Amino acid sequence: MHTGISTSLQAAMLVGAAQIAIAAPLHAQERQVDFDIPAQELSKSLREFAAITDMDLLYPPQLVENRQARAVKGAMTPTAALREMLRGSGLAFDVNGDDAVTLRAVGASRSQAERGDEDAANSMVATAPLSGIVRNAATGSVLPGANVRIAGTPLRTVTDDRGQYNFPAAPQGTQTVVVEYLGQVPQVASVSVAPGVRNTGDVSVGSSSDEIVVLGYRSAIQVALNQQKNADNNSTVVASDLLGGFPAETVSEALRRVPGVAFGRDADTGEGSRITVRGFSSEAINVQLNGLDLQGTGYERTIDLSGFLADNISQVTVHKSLLPSHESTGSGGLVEIETKSGLDYGDFAFNVSVEGESNFDRDFGEEYQINGTIAKELTPSFGIAATLQYRNTDRLNYDVSILDTVPPVLPEGYTSIFFVPASFEFPFDPGLDQQLVTSTSYLRRERAEEAFVGSLNLAWDIASHTRLRLDLQRNVRDSEGSDSRTAIGFLTSSLDMPIPELDGEVRRRTTLRALRPSIAFRSTDQKFTSDTISFRGDTDIGRWEFEYKLGYSKARQEGSNTAITLLGNSFTNLEDLIDPATLRTAPDDDAAQTERVIAGGFVTGPDGLPLPSLTAEGFALIGDPAQYNLFSAITNPIDSPSESYIGEFQARYNTPLGFLEYVELGGKYDSSKRQTVGNVTNPRNVTSQRYLRISGADSDLALFDPNLLGADDISLIGVDAFDLPYLSAGGARTIFDILPGYTEDDPATAFNEERFAFTDFTQLDPIADGSGTLVPTETTEDNWAAYLESKLVFGDLSVIAGVRYEREKRNGFTISSPSVRLDEPGFRTEDRETFVQAGLVRFANTGGTVDTWTPSFLATYRPHPNIAARLGYFRSTVNPDFRLLNRNTQYSVDLRPGFGRVTILEANPDLKPSTTDNIDLDLAYYFDDTPGLVRAGFFYKKINNNFTNVNFTAVDDDGVRQRFLDEFAPLAESRPDLLALPEDTEFLVNRPTNGEGGKIWGLEFELIRRLDFLPGFLSDFGVLANATYTNGDFPTLVSARSDDNEIIQLSLDRPLRDQARWVYNLSLDYDRDGFQGRVIYTSQSATVDAFDEFNLNTVVPSYDTLDARLSYTFENLGGLWTIFLEGDDLLRDPRDADIRSTTSSQFGDGTAVFSYPQAYQFNGGRTVTMGVRARF
């Protein structure tokens, strides 16, 4: 039998006939082969024989038990070697055709299964359809990714995600179906294929006694690797038990263990919320749930994965190379999240789990979670499953952020760093201190969140030819939180003064002028809801396979936030307020030789944390409520809905041609809409109501309650030197309750109560009233896609080639308005009413259409069944951020001579998608005897049409001038002065454009292996290790100054934002008799957020974690029970600072090395989770 793929060791238990298959192609039986197989157990010798000869062996497993094989050594034919091996064993063999061998007891007749192979050979011209489902014998769950072939024929296929296999034209007669599944001996079944009907033959793999093992980590690895091994593209599968086997609650936290994937952390909580894949941020990753593209809210395309709890997932597949049938909008990758269907649980299942998590220091809060699933097959072909998950989170954490001046001393002749030419190298004066800390903010964050995930999954196999699936899911996160921020800071002055460190040379220096604290409070009350409805089906008619899909998804972020700002009084007597031990002064060169404070306001505390260095008098002022005045109080509405409709159809024809396996055509339509209650560029900062202190009015806290402020010693983060004043949620409510009484004067009282101006922006007209009004926006995208895909097979080489075409029509709805600064003393602008009457303030629609072609060519070479070598080229795309497609259009005009400027700020609905030409090379070896692999990969990505938002870039004068004249034409007669531009006017445009692109390249390495070759208990250990290296050369535009003091754009070759150079995982696990243990170390190198011409880059430092999980599974009360204990972030003490941001030279091209931490976070350090799961 020549299958086109060779197999080494394969031994399997037969369902029904209970045969074993050691399978491989036999090119020529009578060739001479060198043998050196020692005398040993017959089963081992047979495995070695199969590996050496590439022969297919079929035999019942009990046939070779307790039998010994003779040694075979030397050059001989395979039949002679097998005869010598079996001599004296009581066994003989028969050759089936020219490519398979069946073992039997001496004197026994040939089995029906063997005769079936001859029947197949004699009836190849008569065929009929054959399909079936491959299941796990212990659990009844389906097994996707299994190799299925018909012995004695070249026919083979792979089971789909429902465990289904399909042969459109199988030979009639009794056939031997062989199922090969990594980590299991091949399974063989005899199936009768009759004419005129659709024949079925289900196969079960494994043993029904494996209940403990099949529900654990090994089974998850087995399911995942079988799908990866037989996939037509480069992908990584994370099965459900593997998600649970990692210490992780959410999909994003679990996926960071996947090679090529980096971890994105939420800025507020530090928890996993997003991922990056192969250097591309979450904006460039397409996330689908049950085949539907998930929708973000507001302006973001990023999908927050923190809401997807791991217990609700069947599997997650990360596609790193894309087929034509895949969405092209995944330059970073396509992430497919699948929930289980109603027929995936067996006849009946009831699962429930409860777990609780807490920090070692419980003052940082706790969390608990309850999950339940019930599933029932109402008939053998119709099943329903319902899942409900609930998570309750109550957390406290702290942020410490810094404001600083870098550098405090400027080069000679410059008064601002914004005027220093890019040709200067930082540090400008290496001998000087380069950082002056001017303020430190301490933020106390309290968060309470409830998350609900409910799903209903129905599956109906109408017949063997048609399968339908309906999946409904709702994801709700209801959160309330409050942030109380206390800033201890200094007002600064920039002065030209002698610099003692530079021998008195006069330079511009930043000095501390006055101590001024402030307190801010923010409350959040938000609810995120997402709903998906996915209907999918597939139908087989002869050689035709049809798949169809209809779906609807929507998401909505809504709520109301509040914010209060308290400004402290200013105190200039710094000599009395700063600790004399740290106070540094230097004389000015004015007539009085005034001593200026140049440093000393802060000292370094634990973990490098800057702490205020004040006297007792200074700390007393900080904590005195009488020193604070209410400046503003605002309400911020959140309402950002989005929705999407899709329809998809594909048809595949499985050809009878030997070299052309199939041809597939498909099409898709989806329409999406996003809305915001305010400006699309920043919907989270829209103000609906505002109280603003009237200039000069008294607004100290005594007006409300002199005891509003609380005190926090912040000892939880290791700081106990002073108490920190803060405003609580109760204090904030008191302020909002009293504020309405201070917006109007009461004539009946002796004093003026009007202290605050109140504005209700919801009552304003966005056309007539202008700035601050709520400007509703809407962006729609209609997409049409069609693709052609085919698969060619040339022996061990398969090639998938095709092309995808996509057309996207965009439309944005927002407001257009001008502003003109007049040539008059002071800051005078033209009244908005002038433009309203001229019709220049108006709602406007902007639209555009873009077309993309994305070819794909993926080749897979399998010289051995356990080796997969992949080489692929494909093109992918990234759609622009919604802020680039739809934002307010503004004409900003300055009529002052010497400052003349016309700037157009606008969106670009014609912005092309960024395109990426990808080259992917991957080589993997899959172990036969146990689930595992060794893998190495290389990827290269050439990006074109990347997105830039170029500020202050001069364009053709006539183009902008003419647009200005056309826009202002209605005023040409009534107000010609508004069109009278100064002679030296600059014409600028701020418009998103497609950039020149860049390159990303990298390497991936992966090892998964059970150590079952080791002696004793060591054989129960397993290892998982992977590493990803990513580098990039990406032109990044930065505004800078030339040596001639002109604004220029620098193109810096830099990596992409969020691109970690190194990510690696090291894991050791133990698995025996129901006990499982795992420890995993994850490390991720630094990433960059923003670049600077002086290499003062904003960098997110490296991050690492050590996590562990212990579990014990046992049977009791008719169910399977698992008790588990997890430890997360075990390397971090509660008082250890997590540095979230620095100003650093890293990723720059200068010679200096520096790093100035900007943000610290304290999340409570290590946590412990305990829980129990029960399966019935």
In percent, the amount of the chain with pLDDT more than 90 equals: 49
Average pLDDT over residues 84-104: 77
Query: For the chain, where do the domains classified as CATH 3.55.50.30 start and end?
Result: 20-194
Q: What is the pLDDT of residue 1046?
A: 84
Note whether 495 and 511 are within 8 A (CB).
yes
Closest CA to 95 of 83, 87, 245, 85: 83
Q: What is the pLDDT of residue 211?
A: 43
Give the chain's mean pLDDT. 86
Q: What is the pLDDT of residue 742?
A: 92
Q: How confident is the model at residue 64 (pLDDT cuts 50, 70, 90)?
A: confident
Q: What are phi and psi of 48, to 5 degrees?
A: -65, -40
Q: How confident is the model at residue 758 (pLDDT cuts 50, 70, 90)?
A: very high
Task: Look at 12-16, 289-293, 314-318 and tell me which has the smallest mean pLDDT.
Answer: 12-16
**First-to-last CA distance in the chain?**
44
Selected residue with higher pLDDT from 22 and 967:
967
Q: Give pTM, 2 decimals.
A: 0.82
Selected residue with higher pLDDT from 1151 and 660:
660
Note whether 893 and 901 are within 8 A (CB).
yes
Task: Look at 176-185, 247-256, 272-281, 661-670 and tell me which has the smallest mean pLDDT.
Answer: 247-256
Q: What is the pLDDT of residue 650?
A: 97
Q: Beta strand 797-821 with 1155-1162: parallel, antiparallel or unpaired?
A: unpaired
Note whether 266 and 282 are within 8 A (CB).
no
Q: Beta strand 1021-1041 with 1062-1072: parallel, antiparallel or unpaired?
A: antiparallel
Summarised one tens digit per residue, pLDDT across range 1043-1078 is 988 888 788 878 877 889 999 999 999 998 889 999
pLDDT over 90 (residue 54): no
- Would you state the CATH architecture of domain 20-194? 3-Layer(bab) Sandwich (3.55)
DSSP helix/strand/coil, 620: helix
CA gyration radius, the chain:
35
Summarised one tens digit per residue, pLDDT across range 436-469 is 999 999 999 999 999 999 999 999 999 888 999 9
Note whether 783 and 808 are within 8 A (CB).
yes
Average pLDDT over residues 1080-1086: 94
Average pLDDT over residues 851-875: 94
In percent, the amount of the chain with pLDDT more than 70 equals: 90
Task: Look at 46-50, 252-256, 365-369, 584-588 and tell me which has the smallest mean pLDDT.
Answer: 252-256
Selected residue with higher pLDDT from 1120 and 680:
1120
Q: Beta strand 127-136 with 203-205: parallel, antiparallel or unpaired?
A: parallel
Query: For the chain, where do the domains classified as CATH 2.170.130.10 start and end?
Result: 213-340
CA torsion through residues 730, 734, 737, 739, sign: negative
Taking domain 213-340, whether its CATH number is 3.40.50.1860 is answered by: no
Summarised one tens digit per residue, pLDDT across range 909-947 is 888 888 999 999 999 999 987 889 999 999 999 998 877
Q: Is 557 exposed, middle or buried (0-12, 13-18, 19+ CB in 10 A)?
A: buried
Summarised one tens digit per residue, pLDDT across range 803-859 is 999 999 988 877 888 999 999 988 899 998 899 999 998 887 888 898 999 999 999
Q: What is the pLDDT of residue 20?
A: 42
Neighbours of 501 (CB within 10 A): 15
Contacts of 73 (CB under 8 A, 6+ apart): 35, 36, 37
Note whether 256 and 272 are within 8 A (CB).
yes
Contacts of 218 (CB under 8 A, 6+ apart): 183, 931, 1010, 1022, 1071
pLDDT over 80 (residue 23): no
- The b-or-e profile of 387-398 (16+ CB within 10 A means b, else e) is bbbbbebebbbb
Q: Which of 1-15, 302-316, 1041-1055, 1107-1121 has the highest mean pLDDT?
A: 1107-1121
Question: How far is it, in rounded angstroms, from Cα 844 to Cα 489?
Answer: 44
pLDDT over 70 (residue 4): no
DSSP helix/strand/coil, 307: helix
Q: What is the pLDDT of residue 907?
A: 82
Summarised one tens digit per residue, pLDDT across range 669-703 is 999 998 887 654 455 567 888 999 998 888 988 88
Q: How many CA atoms lie within 13 A of 646 on its CB side?
A: 27
Token pair belonging to 377: 């097959």
Q: Which of 36-50, 74-88, 1008-1022 has the highest mean pLDDT?
A: 1008-1022
Average pLDDT over residues 161-186: 87
H or E element: which one contains 1024? strand 1021-1041
Summarised one tens digit per residue, pLDDT across range 468-510 is 999 999 999 999 999 999 999 999 999 999 999 999 999 999 9
Summarised one tens digit per residue, pLDDT across range 594-652 is 999 999 999 998 888 999 999 999 999 999 999 999 999 999 888 889 999 999 999 99
H or E element: which one contains 612? strand 610-612
Selected residue with higher pLDDT from 677 and 526:
526
pLDDT over 60 (residue 13): no
Contacts of 947 (CB under 8 A, 6+ apart): 878, 880, 881, 884, 911, 914, 992, 993, 994, 995
Q: What is the pLDDT of residue 216?
A: 59
pLDDT over 70 (residue 360): yes
Q: What is the pLDDT of residue 78?
A: 85
